[in-house]
A = this chain, B = another copy of it.
Amino acid sequence: MSEATALRSTQKVIFLNPSESPVGARKFEVTCSSCNLREICLPAGLDHDDLQRIEQVVYARRRVKRGDALFNAGDVFNSMYAIRSGFFKTSLLDGEGREQVTGFFMGGELLGMDGVGAGHYNGAAIALEDSEVCVMPFSLVEDISREVPALQRHLHAVLAREIVRDHGVMLLLGSMRAEERLAAFLLNLSKRFTRRGYSPLDFHLRMTREEIGSYLGLKLETVSRLFSKFQEDGLIEVQQKHVRIRDNAGMEQLLTTRH
């Protein structure tokens, strides 16, 4: 792809979405090769040339304040986003304004894939703490992935991984009881924190009980009761948003034992 094409693509992004401001968005600030999330974000075993070309897809960074939307359902789709730091929830609004949280996302994970192909995002992404994302204009991603098969494969893998993740949530919502859902949720968070170098046994929940409940298909009171029950059973210690896992094996057993 020519540099001219790249510029055209990126400018389109700027003008269509004013909030993607050029402030702090100069390309030379961004390098994937030096990003500490590189191993999570990018495929392994890239040679220097490929890596350099893949870095072109990251056009800019953007800060999102806690409570603000990275994008809303229905917004024109231009870009996918990689989370550099922070924490997001994604959600849908059903017909009557009820919210369904479809996922929680942390550093190194991608957002916005649900907009590919449709021209607009299907759901919203809201920051649960002050966050920063890498902006990847999708037309650029497509252009470069035609030239760099490693990026093409990675893009497909990323989209498919989201499908697999969603199927996991469907399994959770469709066939687990409340207890199992919360255990699965906590263990999943724990695993993802580990990968990012945080403690797997001691972490801070960024979301409210209501958001957890929405994600798990439960009411907030049920979630609260379960936290208390897990604590009584010696599985965890909870204090508001702070969770400490005391009996990891016990939690896993909750998931593998029928009733």
Chain A interface (Cβ < 8 Å from any Cβ of B)? 92, 94-96, 98, 100-102, 113-118, 122-123, 142, 145-147, 149, 152-153, 155-164, 166-167, 169-171, 173-176, 214-217, 255-256, 258
Q: In the A-B complex, list the 6 residue pairs whose CB atoms are closest, starting with the nearest.
A: A117-B157, A166-B166, A116-B160, A173-B173, A174-B217, A159-B159
* B96 and A164 contact, CB distance less than 8 A: no
A interface, by DSSP: helix, strand, loop or mixed?
helix
Given contacts A116-B156, A167-B122, contact A96 B256 (CB under 8 A): yes
- What residues of B have a CB within 8 angstroms of the CB of A170 in the complex? 92, 100, 102, 166, 169-170, 173
Cα distance A129–B169 in the bound complex, in angstroms: 28
CB distance from A161 to the nearest CB of B (A): 6
A217: which of B117, B146, B153, B173 is its contact (CB, 8 Å)? B173
**What would 21 A/B residue contacts be, using CB atoms closer than 8 Å?**
A95-B256, A98-B175, A101-B174, A117-B156, A117-B157, A117-B159, A117-B160, A122-B163, A142-B153, A146-B149, A146-B152, A155-B156, A159-B160, A163-B163, A166-B166, A166-B169, A166-B170, A170-B173, A173-B173, A173-B174, A174-B216
